[in-house]
Amino acid sequence: MHVQLASAFEGTSFGKETSDILGKCVHCGFCTATCPTYQLLGDELDGPRGRIYLVKQLLETKEASKITRVHLDRCLTCRSCETTCPSGVDYGRLVELARPVVDELCPRPVFERLARWLLVHLMLGPWFGLLLRLGQTLRGFLPESLARHIPKRYPVGIVPESHGNRRVLMLDGCVQPAMAPQINAAARRVLAKLNVDVRSANQAGCCGALQLHLGNTDPALDAMRRNIDAWWTEIENGVEAIVMTASGCGVTVREYGQLLKNDPIYCEKAKRVSEMTVDLSEFVSAEDVASLGRISQRRVAFHSPCTLQHGQGVRGKVERILKAAGADLVSTRDSHLCCGAAGTYSVLQSELSIRLLDQKISDLNQDGPELIVTANLGCLAHLASGSPTPVQHWIELIDSSPAS
């Protein structure tokens, strides 16, 4: 696809990167077949090819309208289209680059801006844990429509002192320690069983994904720099990997190198961080998984998050670990499609998000599983809000096996 850049974008890194990405698109439209929003809405502009044309228009005219913004907002950034695309179009990066420019050229109404600001500050601020605890306490008195979004509290269990002779770093995450502290505790126990000592850096926080997906590039890059600084001493002291228990964070940390490539101070460090980052399933599946014991549940459905299968290209690892533990993995329809969580999408595009959730729950339950497992907190909370079958992180299931 040829792009005639508007003069204002000529010679800019934005113009170069976006036109390089667009240059690979041959407008074949294969991607529309696997796009969840196109499947729901049937509008070309709600599919990847249509959105690509909207970005092309933006690049050529330096103009954006409400139409541009609405259709880009409806995109889940699930990157299913990237998996399908035969030309290797880096669609996710294209949208990430375009969103802040669209916001600048066609500012959002005040109410929308306020809602987004509140969302970020609520989730990343010091009040999140407290408000969540309050919501959990009052859950029984709240209307069902609100209560379903408040995750239940589960016991964390004892996290043993690790005396492993190997060391990894783990990102605790921003909302995960408050919403589901049992996940990281389970990961620590399983890794301890594999003789791996887990370190966390107190100063590390949100991976930056939350701000990045809302088009707030500068605060997102600051969060990334802060994490790199927080991890650097452990990296220099020889940790073997940075292990992610949430695939939504993993996909972003894996892109630190790309995202900070123009930062002369952080580019090399960011590249090293990205190269060292692995999803927990990649790390565990390379170990002696048979030593982790057998699980009691047999019929298990696995929901592979988009950030794992499309964003990171990690496929088959969780399945391998579950099968080694004795699970009978049940089939699920349309496993490539998003559940509708997609970070803040479930709040900002709640109608589409619920339609995707209903479809996903039906697809996951088609073969009557005893349990649904996934690999990302956002998907877990979203699925649990409407699923008749219990939902867990897969590491919790492995941790529950008698031998671990």
Query: Segment contacting ligand SF4 (CB under 6 A): 30-38, 100-108, 126-134, 166-174?
Result: 30-38
Nearer to ligand SF4, 81 or 171 (CB): 81
170 backbone dihedrals φ, ψ, rounded to 5°: -130, 135
Question: Which residues, other chains included, contact 93 with Cβ-Cβ below 8 Å and sequence gap of 6+?
Answer: 17, 21, 258
Residue 27 lies near ligand SF4 (rule: CB under 6 A)? yes
Q: Measured from the CB of residue 374, what is the shortest distance to ligand SF4 in angstroms?
A: 18
Q: Measured from the CB of residue 247, what is the shortest distance to ligand SF4 in angstroms?
A: 15
Residue 75 lies near ligand SF4 (rule: CB under 6 A)? yes
Q: Measured from the CB of residue 30, what is the shortest distance to ligand SF4 in angstroms?
A: 4
DSSP structure string for 37-66? HHHHH--GGGSHHHHHHHHHHHHHHS---H
β strands within 147-284, DSSP E: 166-170, 196-199, 242-244, 277-279
CB 16 within 8 A of CB 3: no
Report the residue from 77, 216, 307, 387 that binds ligand SF4 according to the rule CB under 6 A: 77
Report the residue from 54, 58, 59, 81 that binds ligand SF4 according to the rule CB under 6 A: 81
Question: Which residues, other chains included, contact 193 with Cβ-Cβ below 8 Å and sequence gap of 6+?
Answer: 291, 292, 404
Query: Segment contacting ligand SF4 (CB under 6 A): 81-89, 175-183, 217-225, 297-305?
Result: 81-89
Residue length of the chain: 404
Nearer to ligand SF4, 90 or 399 (CB): 90
Nearer to ligand SF4, 25 or 175 (CB): 25
Q: Measured from the CB of residue 37, what is the shortest distance to ligand SF4 in angstroms?
A: 5
Residue 185 lies near ligand SF4 (rule: CB under 6 A)? no
Distance (Å) of CA 350 to CA 84, 297, 357: 26, 33, 10
Q: Measured from the CB of residue 304, what is the shortest distance to ligand SF4 in angstroms?
A: 14
Q: Measured from the CB of residue 373, what is the shortest distance to ligand SF4 in angstroms?
A: 23
DSSP structure string for 263-301? -TTTHHHHHHHHHHEEEHHHHHHTS-GGGG---S--EEE
54 vs 335: CA distance, rounded Å: 28
Question: Which residues, other chains included, contact 362 with Cβ-Cβ below 8 Å and sequence gap of 6+?
Answer: none
Size of interface with ligand SF4, in residues (CB under 6 A): 26
Site pattern 83..102 for ligand SF4 (x: CB under 6 A): -xx-x-x-x-----------
389 vs 373: CA distance, rounded Å: 10
Nearer to ligand SF4, 71 or 393 (CB): 71
343: number of Cβ within 10 Å? 20
Residue 78 lies near ligand SF4 (rule: CB under 6 A)? yes
If you search the block for the tokens 């998000």, which residue do you land on?
A: 353
Q: Measured from the CB of residue 350, what is the shortest distance to ligand SF4 in angstroms?
A: 16
Nearer to ligand SF4, 39 or 400 (CB): 39
Nearer to ligand SF4, 29 or 107 (CB): 29
Report the residue from 8, 10, 13, 29 that binds ligand SF4 according to the rule CB under 6 A: 29
182: which 2 tokens? 């049992």
- The residues in 33-72 that bind ligand SF4, with binding defined as CB under 6 A, are 35-37, 48-49, 51-52
Residue 385 lies near ligand SF4 (rule: CB under 6 A)? no
CA dihedral sign, ordered 110, 111, 113, 117 = positive
* Virtual torsion, Cα 348, 352, 354, 355, nearest 10 deg: 180
Nearer to ligand SF4, 29 or 125 (CB): 29
Q: Measured from the CB of residue 51, what is the shortest distance to ligand SF4 in angstroms?
A: 6
Instruction: State the residues that interact with ligand SF4 by CB under 6 A.
Output: 25-31, 35-37, 48-49, 51-52, 75-81, 84-85, 87, 89, 91
